[in-house]
A and B are shown apart, each in its own frame.
Chain A
Amino acid sequence: MTTDATRATDPSAPTDAAATPTADPATPRADAATPAVDAATPAADAAVETRPDQAVESRPGPTDRAGEARSDQAVETRPDPTGPPLVPAGPRAGAFWAWTGLGLLIVLGLAALTRYLEQNVPVFAEGTALEDIAAAIEYPVYAIVLGLLGNAAVTLSGLRDRIAAAFRTEFFIKTGLVLLGASINLAVIASAAGPAIAQAVLLISGVFLFTWWLAGRLGLDDKLRALLASAVSICGVSAAIAAAGAVRARREQLAYAASLVIVFALPSIFILPWLADVLGLEPAVAGAWIGGNIDTTAAVTAAGALAGEEALQIASIVKVTQNALMGVVAVALTAYFTLRVERQAGAARPKLVELWHRFPKFVLGFIAASVIATWYLDAAGSDGKATIAVVNDLRVWFLILAFVSIGLEVRVTALREAGWRPVAVFASATVFNLLLALGLASLLFRDFAA
């Protein structure tokens, strides 16, 4: 899952068929009857906007067998419903890969610059008035700022939508989290699992119900309520996408929820570690608070890194636990909307196997890496620490790639047309989440010891 929903459905995105690889009529996305997974790119959006309403209403329902079959065929060649531009068929494929390659070079270049600044700015600033500040600035700050500057540059140059397929925040962050598992002793995961699960269940339930209730009071559409409640209570854009699939929300609703997540997450990366310091929170409590409060996994990792290594580890465990519960919420939403909100005669009940389908598999990699590294350190002794340090360096690189991508992906234009009510709901839910997470983290992770 990516944060590309923002990009994919942004009304300001280019609709020039010649400039957009996905406009190729040979691709399935040009087919108005193709399920909505195929309509996530700017080109497809343009096509959808001109479709007659009948075409929309004749789309297969969630239980339509033919629709499922077409959807399955579609996903063989394309990313998730809000993902970056698809790989086009035919002669445009070469241009697509060329632009994506350029995008990857830009991401890698900004990541390398981040690493260079992180390692050298403190050295350059030694003996100057900026020495303390330079030493305090960590790589997430450089990465996000450089990503935002890069965003401005590629937007102004008109390159942004062509190279956007390279901004794979979620892939980078998930790979980084698997590598992070290698630096966390299995005993820490085992000790933190209990309070992390308790916090996740209480927090998701409390924040979801509060957001659902408030959005209902303000008269928001049920599907947007589900998206906002899932995004703010579980894990941001990933949860919004899972919820969008569960309730069959409209793409612009998903784009809107994703935009809100990113816009709110960015300042949280800096504010929460600062607040944790001001409040004098223990590292474990700070980590649990950050992990339970910030919506996107990438932003949690950035904030955790700013708060310190122990806080980062706990924040990651808490966030990964919330990610793991996403499947439960998605299945519950599917059942609720199928059986209650949009009653359909003969609608099939969601199957339990959906829990597995929606389970974030990288969680298994995170745990496996911890098991392997714990075993390795037991076997290799203190000599093994230098080896694990190499894994940590790789982890930092992937996190930097993710943070640079966050900066490159930010797009606020999708928020302009939405009105104030969803923003008010999201802001209120964020404050509620902030307070509830602080209370739960203080209660469950006080005096935490692995």
Chain B
Amino acid sequence: MSIDETPSTPPTAPESRFALNEDWAATLLGLLLLGLVLLGVIPTGLVP
């Protein structure tokens, strides 16, 4: 069956909240790492 013909499987649901949570997780992790570097917790030379 071609991809654009009669449906055989159900439709996708509206975008789930997990995608949004992944966005927030990436944001928080990125800002946390930035904060740790600026505070000196992750010093120069530690990251290879």
| A contact set with B: CB distance below 8 Å | 1-2, 35-37, 39, 45, 48-49, 56, 59, 62, 67, 71-72, 74-76, 78-83, 112, 115, 168, 170-171, 174-179, 181-182, 219-221, 223-224, 241-242, 244-246, 248-254, 256, 330, 334, 357-358, 360-362, 364-365, 368-369, 372-373, 376, 386-391, 393-394, 397, 417-419, 421-422
CB distance from A310 to the nearest CB of B (A): 21
Q: Are B12 and A244 in contact (CB under 8 A)?
A: yes
Q: Are B37 and A254 in contact (CB under 8 A)?
A: no
Which B residue's beta carbon lies closest to that of A40?
Answer: B12
CB distance from A401 to the nearest CB of B (A): 12
Q: What residues of B have a CB within 8 angstroms of the CB of A417 in the complex?
A: 1-3
- CB-defined A-B contacts under 8 Å, sample of 5: A74-B16, A244-B12, A248-B14, A252-B9, A256-B3
Q: What residues of A have a CB within 8 angstroms of the CB of B44 in the complex?
A: 386-387, 389-390
Taking a contact as CB atoms closer than 8 A, the residue among B1, B7, B30 that contacts A369 in the complex is B30
**A67-B13 Cα distance, complex, nearest whole Å:** 10
Q: Are B4 and A253 in contact (CB under 8 A)?
A: yes
**A2-B15 Cα distance, complex, nearest whole Å:** 12
Taking a contact as CB atoms closer than 8 A, the residue among B12, B17, B20, B28 that contacts A251 in the complex is B12
Q: With A365-B27, A418-B2 in contact, is A387–B9 under 8 Å at CB? A: no
| B contact set with A: CB distance below 8 Å | 1-5, 7-20, 22-31, 33-35, 37-38, 42-44, 46-48
Taking a contact as CB atoms closer than 8 A, the residue among B7, B9, B23, B33 that contacts A391 in the complex is B33
Q: Are B22 and A387 in contact (CB under 8 A)?
A: no
Which of B12, B37, B43 has the most CB atoms of chain A within a 10 A radius of its CB?
Answer: B12
Q: With A81-B15, A250-B8 in contact, is A418–B3 under 8 Å at CB? A: yes
Taking a contact as CB atoms closer than 8 A, the residue among A78, A171, A256, A361 that contacts B16 in the complex is A78
Q: Are B34 and A175 in contact (CB under 8 A)?
A: no
Q: What residues of B have a CB within 8 angstroms of the CB of A78 in the complex?
A: 16, 18
Q: Are A252 and B3 in contact (CB under 8 A)?
A: yes
Q: Are B38 and A171 in contact (CB under 8 A)?
A: no
Q: With A171-B22, A178-B27, A256-B3 in contact, is A387–B38 under 8 Å at CB? A: yes
**A241-B34 Cα distance, complex, nearest whole Å:** 30
Q: Are B18 and A80 in contact (CB under 8 A)?
A: yes
Taking a contact as CB atoms closer than 8 A, the residue among B9, B18, B27, B47 that contacts A397 in the complex is B47
Q: Are A373 and B34 in contact (CB under 8 A)?
A: yes
**A407-B23 Cα distance, complex, nearest whole Å:** 22
Q: With A178-B26, A365-B30 in contact, is A241–B15 under 8 Å at CB? A: yes
Please provide the 8 A-B residue pairs with the shortest distance between their CB atoms, ordered closest to farther. Answer: A178-B30, A365-B27, A174-B26, A248-B11, A361-B23, A245-B14, A221-B4, A75-B16
Q: With A224-B4, A248-B12, A394-B33 in contact, is A362–B26 under 8 Å at CB? A: yes
